[in-house]
Amino acid sequence: MKVSFTSSSLVKPSKPTWNGVMQLADWDQIGYISHISTVHIYKPPNKKENSIAFINTLKESLSRLLVHFYPIAGRLRWVHGGRLELDCNAMGVQFIVAETKAKLSDLGDFSTSSEMLSLPPSIDYESTSLEEHPLLYIQITKFQCGSISICPAMSHVIVDGRCASYFLAEWAKCARGESLDFLPLLDKRVLRAGEVLTKPPPPDFVPFVNPPLLIGQNSTKQEREKETTVAMLKLTKTQVDLLKYTANETRPDKSGRPYSRYETISGHIWRCSSMARGHKAEQKTGLGISVDIRKRMQPPIPQNFFGNSTIDVVSDAYSGDLILKPLGYAASKIRETIDKTDAKFVHFTIDFWKNQEDFGPFQDVHGCDGPFYGNPNLGVTSWLTLPFLGLDFGWGREVYMGPVTHDIDGDFILCPDNSEDGSVIVRACLQVPHMKAFKKLFYDFS
């Protein structure tokens, strides 16, 4: 799909904001140092609706919103030890307007169309330094049929998924002319509020362990270079309930709370991936989990805190155990890893990162370096409880919302189906030779 760009400008806060350097939490700077995009597609509420007026409303309301969310209008900069800090300088966010002669019908069911790759902002990481990049890019694309897409790309250093959805929800309220529900809490000290002095972490405490390598390999280079493919797989509510029933009926420990959707579906994906990849029984495999710590801290972190509040942890098992044992075993390994991520673990983690001299080995800059969750590993991210769906900027609910495709092996995202009937969409990325077998195993619930 050909897209023509009609304008690109910086949107700055509509009023003066605090200016200065904001220190970032250490774990903000670990992992994926890049932008994460979503796509939201809207049809005009009536034929007479003026898309130009709507886009102007989006731009003006964004400027007003940035007065409160002013860190997102700043710039990152490198400091010693591979660390980053945030310069709150109100330089603004990039607002791009484009148009295409295509119609929505040309995108098919949206989720499987390669044409969707024209909708998010294209960010040139190669020729432009990190310090020069806005923390938020927004591309608005007008279709010939009158519909538009809104595609924000937000720096993962500044926000996690919950904060991104919070920002977009407040922007939608501004665009509709409504007042904000909650002003953002920007003080990073809440991450250590209520901390009780305890014994220091054990000398061998490491919150992050590099995922295992394939047997016989001494680096991830070979696996990183293999071609990947993406599939969108739907689980109906009935299928989700069946998987949860199977997991709970086959759990190693019959006591305790039932397994969640995330634990169950992720365990199913883990087993299917190990089988589809043809792992040996003795192959160790890791599953990366992003754990939301807001409710795990004492006291809990306020819901309007604007910053990363997730910790990445890795559950590991032998492929032979995952394959030969029932689903309940895989779900139990995931539960075990999530449950260990309590307030004490978080405080130990903060101290661990604070004492690191060089962050470089722990950072994945633009998806090219750092820990690799491809074969024999995977990462499963859940959007199931994030309020991305139903964003109304003044044109009603979107006709489609979803992640922008990544082509990283082992990358899985769980999304609620747009029908909101309890179905789950699994966005799967695997190496090309493994996808056919994975899709077959994925729907075999025996």
The whole-number pLDDT of residue 229 equals 92
Measure the CA–CA gap between 183 and 65, rounded to whole angstroms.
Answer: 10
The whole-number pLDDT of residue 180 equals 86
10 Å CB burial of residue 357 (0-12, 13-18, 19+) is exposed
* C-beta separation of 154 from 74 below 8 A: no
The whole-number pLDDT of residue 199 equals 65
Task: For residues 119 and 255, state if they share a domain.
Answer: no
> Of 174, 190, 206, which marks where a domain is finished?
190
Q: Is 331 a domain residue?
A: yes
Query: pLDDT tens for residues 77-97?
Result: 999 888 999 999 999 999 999
Measure the CA–CA gap between 106 and 103, rounded to whole angstroms.
Answer: 5
Query: pLDDT tens for residues 144-178?
Result: 999 999 999 999 899 998 999 999 999 999 999 99
The domain total for the chain is 2
- Paired residues of 310 in beta bridges: 292
Question: Within 10 A of 293 (CB to CB), how many other CB atoms are there?
Answer: 20
* C-beta separation of 12 from 65 below 8 A: no
Task: For residues 185 and 118, state if they share a domain.
Answer: yes
Q: Is 208 a domain residue?
A: no
Q: Is 275 a domain residue?
A: yes
Among 5-9, 17-21, 25-29, 211-215, the range scoring the smallest mean pLDDT is 25-29
Query: pLDDT tens for residues 320-346?
Result: 999 999 999 999 999 999 999 998 898
Q: Is 402 a domain residue?
A: yes
The whole-number pLDDT of residue 366 equals 60
pTM above 0.85, yes or no: yes
Measured CA to CA in angstroms, residue 227 lies from 83, 175, 218, 409, 433 at distances of 32, 41, 20, 8, 9
Q: Which of 184, 141, 168, 191 is nearest to 8 (CA)?
A: 141
> Of 190, 207, 224, which marks where a domain is finished?
190
Task: For residues 81 and 229, state if they share a domain.
Answer: no
Q: Is 291 a domain residue?
A: yes
> Of 190, 207, 241, which marks where a domain is finished?
190
Task: For residues 297 and 425, state if they share a domain.
Answer: yes
Task: For residues 30 and 110, state if they share a domain.
Answer: yes
Task: For residues 166 and 236, state if they share a domain.
Answer: no
The whole-number pLDDT of residue 74 equals 98
Catalytic residues: 156, 392
Cis (ω within 30 of 0) for the bond into 376? yes
Query: pLDDT tens for residues 13-44?
Result: 999 999 999 988 887 787 778 898 999 999 99
Task: For residues 131 and 70, state if they share a domain.
Answer: yes
**What's the order of all strands across the beta sheet hosting 284-292?**
228-235, 424-431, 411-416, 378-382, 284-292, 310-318
Q: Is 53 a domain residue?
A: yes
Q: Which of 341, 235, 231 is nearest to 290 (CA)?
A: 341
Task: For residues 225 and 155, state if they share a domain.
Answer: no
Provide the residue range defining the domain that includes 100: 4-190
Task: For residues 159 and 298, state if they share a domain.
Answer: no
Task: For residues 186 and 241, state if they share a domain.
Answer: no
Task: For residues 288 and 146, state if they share a domain.
Answer: no
Report the run of H or E that residue 409 belongs to, with start and end: none
* C-beta separation of 281 from 319 below 8 A: yes
Task: For residues 135 and 277, state if they share a domain.
Answer: no
The whole-number pLDDT of residue 337 equals 95
Q: Where are the alpha helices (DSSP H) in 46-145?
A: 51-65
Contacts of 126 (CB under 8 A, 6+ apart): none
Output the domain CATH number for residue 56: 3.30.559.10
pLDDT at 255 over 90: no
